[in-house]
Structure formats: structure tokens, C-alpha cells
Amino acid sequence: MKTPHRESVLSRSARILEAFSQEEPALTVSEIARRAGLHVATASRLVAEMVGHGFLSRDVDRRVRIGVRLWELVTRASPTLSLRDTAMPFMEGVHDVVGHHVQLGVLDGEDVLFLERLSAPNAVINYTRIAGRLSLHASSSGLVLLAYGPTSVKEAVLSGPLIAYTSATPAAPARLRAVLAEVRQQGYAYCPGYVHQEALGIAAPVRGAEGAVVAALSVIVPNESSAHAVVPVVRTAARGISRALSAPPTGESRPDGNESAT
Amino acid sequence: MKTPHRESVLSRSARILEAFSQEEPALTVSEIARRAGLHVATASRLVAEMVGHGFLSRDVDRRVRIGVRLWELVTRASPTLSLRDTAMPFMEGVHDVVGHHVQLGVLDGEDVLFLERLSAPNAVINYTRIAGRLSLHASSSGLVLLAYGPTSVKEAVLSGPLIAYTSATPAAPARLRAVLAEVRQQGYAYCPGYVHQEALGIAAPVRGAEGAVVAALSVIVPNESSAHAVVPVVRTAARGISRALSAPPTGESRPDGNESAT
């Protein structure tokens, strides 16, 4: 009798957390109840408990948000923090030179999940955001992760529906197979107008210490032929991140990240 | 009978999440049980449920981590994402020019909680990290947040124990009051050797749309008199972030951050 109760509370808590989004990070209890499919009284009780544990917090106007405490617990032990920290100086270097958008994505399920994005004011149009997702077959990051990813994911994507965001999106299975073969052969993805006609994505694989591809580094620039010049910049930075991930930890050279004064 | 069960599950889940840290982001179930003060069988059951909901995940070697799904849910609706996103280009600019460490902190309880940090290789020693905390009375960010923060927090800090990290730390209440008055009068904090003798922190307040101080922008540089030249850089960037936070949202100029293609 205990297990169903536990499952139920955690399952409901998960649905409550899922109710929030980047567009709507603050919700009333009745909005939460509706989105989570819970009675208002149930949602109200559970929200109060989650606020008590710092999972959620309440604004002055009583609207509810993700709690800073939960953000802290998840971020400080983030499954992605060391990858992101290692990649960040390389991403900043690319951003300084190329401008526009520089981003880091990982494979999660059948999506690319973006861990980090640096954007310049007035950069070209781009649909990614931090903790946002894009389809594997359409985005340059996704094509890299798919090309070097597990066969099971590749087959699932190839047999599933493939949305054509533009006429350039590789939305036919035969074309997608050819694109993936090309990515593996070239070592990078070059995607003019696949997600939006005005934008061009270039992505290269980032390998972990064991040699497996763990992430994709990408830039989004205007869809112009001059974008070819950016390819070596992206590939070089992706290689640099891979080498840094494989380097043995050097405690002495990073005194800042390894201890706390409190 | 239902409510105690619910409280108990969430409370235990919170303790389990608290078991992880930046130093130890992956733990065995028995390590989790010990840190969370739970029986191994209880921890094991709850961890399995949390894995099922994506709150936690299991490595190939069966060690447990924070789940990527929980990271995604918390990050995409992060209570701090819009502040961090607004501050990021200003922080990058400071980092390009000053190097070393540039960081953004907010007041949380009686600590400064760091939302973001940019660091250069071979930068001067620094104890901050993303989602890390420092004492309010010792760090430049903390002194800014304390100087402009609620009186209740100021009184609590002044009446509590004040750790002297170095001989320069304002760890005597009278000196701390004088430092806070100076911060308010100058509009910034200048902290040579307060946390570590070799490092100097400079911080300036970031104000939100309503004019209240919502964060502190800081740099950590070597503890040398030339650091004075950095003060206007930090103040200018903090003002810039404040103005950007007060600007009305311009949907047209930021097409990238406001919609998703999936």
C-alpha cells in the first residue's frame, strides 16, 4: 500500500514541474492543476508541500515558480556541468570570432537537448535555447548526434515521421541516410536552411575521454556561401573540447573550481 | 493519513537530491542512503522511483546522478534564466577585456548564490562556482547584496558569527557596518584580499525593472593596485544589465528566444 502512494506523489510532482516552461515560468495554482491534470485541491496541497521543500517558490502575487533551491541542487551536481564548463572557453572563442549563435547540444531520447547557447545581439534567426530541444534530422547538431549515435536511435528516427521545416530539410528517409553518411565522411554537418531558410547550421562532434561522441558543437550563421569559412573554426573548437575532456584532471591548474570557502 | 505519506516522500526526495554535490555528482545507493539518513532499502526504492520519473539517472556502473530530465525541467523554466540571459553579453564583454573571473550572484538566505561564472585559464584564485555559495560579509558580491538588501538580513549577518578568511576580511561588526556604508556611498564594493590574500573582488549592483537590487556583478582579479582601473568597467556593465532588465521586451528583435520549432 505504500508504494502506490509514493509513486503517485512523485509522479504528480513530476507533472507539476512539467507544467512550467520558458514562456510561462510563473503559473497560478489553477493553471498548474489544469496542465498537470490534477484537482485544484490536490495541486494546491502538493504545491504547498513543494514550496516547503524549496522545489517551488511563490511570488509576491502568489504565482508559483521553480524554486531557487531546486535550481541550486540540480545545477551544482548537474549531469552536464563538467561538459559545459570544459566547452565554455572554446565556445566563447568561437563566439568572439564568428558572432551569431554558438551552442552545445547532447542526444536525449530522439531529440537534441541544448546545454548552452551564446548569442550576439542581432544574430540570425535561431530556434534553439538553453534546455530547449530540436529534432535530430533537421538541425546540424542533431545530424551530428544522429550520425555518430546508436543505431537504434537512427532506425527509430528514419522510420518515424520526419517534419520538413523548409524545402531543404532532409525529410525523406533516403535523403536523410545520404546526409548522415556525408556527415560521417566529412566529420561535420553543414545545413543551409534546414530549420529556417535564413539560417545555416554547422556542427561538429565532441568526443569524451572514451572516444565516443558525447555532444555536438554548432554555430548558426546567415544562410550565405561565406559560411563555408566557419567550418574549420567549428571543427577546431570541437576537437579542442574533445582534447580537454580527455586530458587528465589537473587539480593544480584549476584551484577555483574544486573547493568552496563556505 | 495521506498527507503524512506525501510529506514524507517529498521530504525524503529532497534529502536524496541534497546528497549530490559538484565534487560528488555520482553516488552509489548506499552512499545516498547514508547522506540522506535513510535505510538502504528505503533509499533504494525511492531512487528507483526517482529514476523512473527522470529525477535521477543511473550510470552504466550503477552509480546514480541527477537526471537530465530534471535538469531540463528546472533549467527551461529557471527562476534565474532571464536575468542570466540578459547579463551574459555584458559579462562576456567584461571577460574579454578584464579576463580572470566574471560572475553574477544573487541574495539567497544569508548567502550569495552564484548563477554564472566566466573564467579564463590561469585566472587568479577564486572560490566561486556556478550554483555555489559564499558568505555575504566576505565576498564583494555579498557586500553589495548586503548593502542594498533587506535590513533583516543585514541585522542577522551583523549579529551572527563572521568568519575571517584572511586578516583583511571585515569580520568585526563595526568594520562591516563601515564597509557597507562605503559600498552604498560609492556604489560598488572593492575588496582586496577579503576571501583570499591573492585575490581582489570588485562588485556593483544590478537593478531590476522596479529599481531594486536583484543581483551583483563582480570580477575577481589579482590583488594589485592596478585593479582600480577595473572599477569603471564593472560599474558600467552592471548599469548596462540594469538598463537591459528595465527595457520593455522587444519580441521583434529577439526572434530566437521566444519560440521553438519542435
Candidate from A57, A74, A256 with C-beta closest to B71: A74
Chain B, nearest residue to A108 by Cα: B68
Q: Which residue has the cell 528583435?
A: B253
pLDDT of residue B259: 37
User: pLDDT category, A89, cuts 50, 70, 90?
Assistant: confident
Residues of chain B with Cβ-Cβ distance to A259 below 8 Å are 127
pLDDT of residue A234: 96
CATH of A2-75, one of 1.10.287.1080, 3.30.70.2500, 1.10.10.10, 3.40.640.10: 1.10.10.10
Stretch B143-172: mean pLDDT: 95
User: pLDDT category, A4, cuts 50, 70, 90?
Assistant: very low
Stretch B213-218: mean pLDDT: 97
pLDDT of residue B249: 53
Architecture of domain A81-246: 2-Layer Sandwich (3.30)
Per residue in A166-224, pLDDT tens?
999 999 999 999 999 999 999 999 999 999 999 999 999 999 988 899 999 999 999 99
The interface predicted TM-score (ipTM) is: 0.80
Q: Which percentage of chain A shows pLDDT scores above 90?
A: 68
CA dihedral of A149, A154, A160, A165, whole degrees rounded to 10: 60
Cβ-count burial B241-251 (b if 16+ within 10 Å, e if not) = bbeebeeeeee
Candidate from A10, A46, A123 with C-beta closest to B53: A10
Are B68 and A89 a contacting pair at CB < 8 A? no
Chain B, nearest residue to A220 by Cα: B256
Per residue in B101-135, pLDDT tens?
999 999 998 999 999 998 887 788 888 778 889 99
Q: Which residues, in sequence order, are bridge partners of residue A208?
A: none
Q: Is it the case that residue B3 has pLDDT exceeding 70? A: no
* Minimal CA separation from B155 to chain A, in Å: 20
Q: Is it the case that residue A7 has pLDDT exceeding 80? A: no
Strands A213-222 and A101-108: antiparallel
Q: Is it the case that residue B142 has pLDDT exceeding 60? A: yes
Residues of chain B with Cβ-Cβ distance to A79 below 8 Å are 25, 57, 65-68, 71
pLDDT of residue A139: 96
Strands A111-119 and A101-108: antiparallel
Domain ranges of chain A: 2-75, 81-246
User: pLDDT category, A105, cuts 50, 70, 90?
Assistant: very high
Are B122 and A45 a contacting pair at CB < 8 A? no
User: pLDDT category, A259, cuts 50, 70, 90?
Assistant: very low
pLDDT of residue B53: 92
How far apart (Å, rounded) are the C-alpha atoms in residues A159 and B228? 62
pLDDT of residue B253: 38
Least reliable range by pLDDT among A22-26, A28-32, A247-251, B188-192: A247-251
* Minimal CA separation from B55 to chain A, in Å: 8
Residues of chain A with Cβ-Cβ distance to B243 below 8 Å are none
Chain A, nearest residue to B115 by Cα: A72
**Grid coordinates belonging to A60:** 509576491
CB B145 within 8 A of CB B163: no
Chain A, nearest residue to B253 by Cα: A122
Stretch B150-165: mean pLDDT: 94
Q: Tell me the backbone φ, ψ of residue B154, rounded to 5 degrees.
A: -60, -45
pLDDT of residue A249: 53
Candidate from B49, B132, B133 with C-beta closest to A6: B49
* Minimal CA separation from B177 to chain A, in Å: 21
Q: Is it the case that residue B6 has pLDDT exceeding 50? A: no
Stretch B191-208: mean pLDDT: 95
How far apart (Å, rounded) are the C-alpha atoms in residues A65 and A46? 14
In one letter, which amino acid is B90?
A: F
pLDDT of residue B251: 42
Distances A116 to A52, A130, B200 between C-alpha atoms, Å? 30, 5, 29
In one letter, which amino acid is B52?
A: G
Candidate from B13, B74, B85 with C-beta closest to A74: B74
Are B9 and A14 a contacting pair at CB < 8 A? no
Residues of chain B with Cβ-Cβ distance to A198 below 8 Å are none
CATH of domain B2-74: 1.10.10.10
Candidate from B70, B92, B138 with C-beta closest to A74: B70
**Grid coordinates belonging to A74:** 540540480
If you write DSSP's letter for every residue of B10-30 in order, what string do you get? HHHHHHHHHT--SS---B-HH
